[in-house]
Amino acid sequence: YVTVMAAADSWSWFPALALGVSLLKCLFINAYHSTDFEVHRNWLAITHSLPVSRWYHENSSAWTLDYPPLFAWLELGLARAAQHFDSNMLRVENLNYVSQNTLLFQRLSVVFTDLLFIYAARECCRCVQEPKGPRDVLSRPSFVLAVLLLWNFGLLIVDHIHFQYNGFMFGFLLLSVAKHLQHKHLQGALLFSVLLNLKHIYLYVAPAYGVYLLRSYCFTQDHSGGSVSWRSFRPLRLLALGSIVASVCALSFGPFIAMGQLPQVLSRLFPFKRGLCHAYWAPNAWALYNVLDKSLALLGVRLKLLEEAELPRASMTGGLVQEFQHSVLPSVTPSVTLVCTLLSILPALASIWRRPRGARGFLRCLLLCALGSFMFGWHVHEKAVLLAILPLSFLAVESREDAGIFLVLTTTGHYSLFPLLFTPAELPIKVFLMLMFTIYSFTALRKLHSGPVLRPLESAYLLGLGVVALACEAAFPLSPWRHKLPFLPLLATSVYCSVGVCYSFLRLYASLLRQEEKHKQL
């Protein structure tokens, strides 16, 4: 009976989910796309038409190559295929070139590269702890995780409407996490090194990898109390890890180091000239800081403590990103954000050094690094919240507490992505998709953990989010203030969501530290 059940326990629903979402993605081919579309077309042109030595020097377009070299090689590979669709898109001088074939090719390339994400999602679903006993397919943790990953609202609208290749990158990240969960640490390290060389924003979570691999892979044994046994250090393993990372970086940066272009590449990769927040404030700690500063300034002017003429003029919400200063509170520089980020992730790193809790502890630490850097980073884009949402999906299907945090973070994070699609034609899509994903995540997690997952305060906050959404999308465009205060909906969205994101960050930290406490008592 058991073997029959095991055989019947097929994964045939997975290809159905994957195919379904891929077909849905194809429907969005003619939807609005952002300037990121032109960015990638430009990079296709640069890598195809110019020699390697010119890649990081080319600047006839404003969208210069600012991803690491492996991504440039990927674009070169894509350009080879692009030739057959429309070779005109590969000419560097064809700025803003959008023919029907170009659109088709670019959109299909995102759908195609998402295959890696689909594979990674399947590997993650395989690693989920299933409770015992036969279960209806729809209530299995692996099924819920598959839907939460494959049909993730944020990924769908950022990748397939706004236009980016995040699915491909997250494929590497999730696959790497899955490999660690399966104790294949070297493969996980390799995948992460590749990821780092595809998009350097993942440097934010590199400390989690570093500490975890050092602690759990290079030191093979623990003392009975859980602390590290220094004598179990395996230098060979450290060497293996180091050589993997080094070889991948060499493959990626090698040609540029040989040509002496490393400083130029690095200056492209890390452009610190941009402002603390970009035009739309990502819902992080700095958004709250900005609002506090502005309110204090206004209060100061009202109470005659400050002169209005003395306040710096630079606008924080200006369209182009510029340096700006705060009026009342101290101004924030890139080094300050770096220090804050490091301070925010240090306790998590220390926690998994002292008490490693296997791959799941590592995942939690990774999550905290991602969220900490989102909260305190320099020039953070709201899309970066996906870096926290996707790994958290895995923890959410296994633990009720994480499910509650997931619902708050995901709903606020996804809603904060709404301003990315500001065209009227895409409004129904983003609303319907958001509702679909939200309804599914709430009901599925509730069913999975047999009972309510959210605390009353959290439910109230999320209902409030609905009110804010209605006000910003429906009521504000029809109100008399839309010309006087055009940035108000963005401001309101950003601030309200920051509260939710900060709350999730604190709760995640609390759960990590509480687990450590529990571990100590055992």
Is 139 a binder of another protein (CB under 8 A)? Answer: yes
Phi, psi (degrees; rounded to nearest 5) at 277: -125, 150
- Return d(Cα 326, Cα 212) in angstroms, integer: 38
**88 vs 443, beta carbon nearer another protein:** 443
Q: CB of residue 420 vs another protein: minimum separation in angstroms?
A: 17
Percent composition of the chain: helix, strand, coil (DSSP 3-state, to 5): 70, 0, 25
Is 27 a binder of another protein (CB under 8 A)? Answer: yes
30-49: which residues touch another protein (CB under 8 A)? 30-31
Is 186 a binder of another protein (CB under 8 A)? Answer: no
Is 436 a binder of another protein (CB under 8 A)? Answer: yes
| Non-local CB neighbours of 186 within 8 Å, separated by 6+ positions | 240, 241, 244
Do 496 and 465 touch, CB atoms closer than 8 A?
yes
Stretch that binds another protein, among 115-123, 335-343, 406-414, 434-442 (CB under 8 A): 434-442
Q: CB of residue 463 vs another protein: minimum separation in angstroms?
A: 17
Is 428 a binder of another protein (CB under 8 A)? Answer: yes
**32 vs 233, beta carbon nearer another protein:** 32
**Residue 93 CA to chain centroid, in angstroms?**
32
Is 418 a binder of another protein (CB under 8 A)? Answer: no
Q: CB of residue 99 vs another protein: minimum separation in angstroms?
A: 15
Is 135 a binder of another protein (CB under 8 A)? Answer: no
Identify the CA nearest to 100 among candidates 114, 88, 115. Answer: 88
Stretch that binds another protein, among 392-400, 426-434, 461-469, 500-508 (CB under 8 A): 426-434
Is 433 a binder of another protein (CB under 8 A)? Answer: yes
Do 256 and 265 touch, CB atoms closer than 8 A?
yes
Amino acid occupying residue 484? K
Rounded-to-10 torsion of CA 248, 253, 257, 263: -130
- Count of residues interacting with another protein (CB under 8 A): 21
**90 vs 445, beta carbon nearer another protein:** 445
Q: CB of residue 444 vs another protein: minimum separation in angstroms?
A: 6
Distances (CA, A) of 355 to 402, 459, 512, 518: 20, 33, 11, 11
Do 408 and 504 touch, CB atoms closer than 8 A?
yes
Rounded-to-10 torsion of CA 44, 62, 283, 295: 180
**Contacts of 227-234 spanning 24+ positions with Cβ under 8 A:** 227/354, 228/353
Stretch that binds another protein, among 252-260, 314-322, 323-331, 439-447 (CB under 8 A): 439-447
Stretch that binds another protein, among 22-30, 227-235, 393-401, 474-482 (CB under 8 A): 22-30
Give the one residue of 439, 457, 506, 510 binding another protein; rule: CB under 8 A. Answer: 439
First vs last C-alpha separation in the chain: 38
**61 vs 438, beta carbon nearer another protein:** 438
Q: Provide the binding-site residues for another protein, judged by CB under 8 A.
A: 24, 27-28, 30-31, 138-139, 424-425, 428-429, 432-433, 435-436, 439-440, 442-444, 447
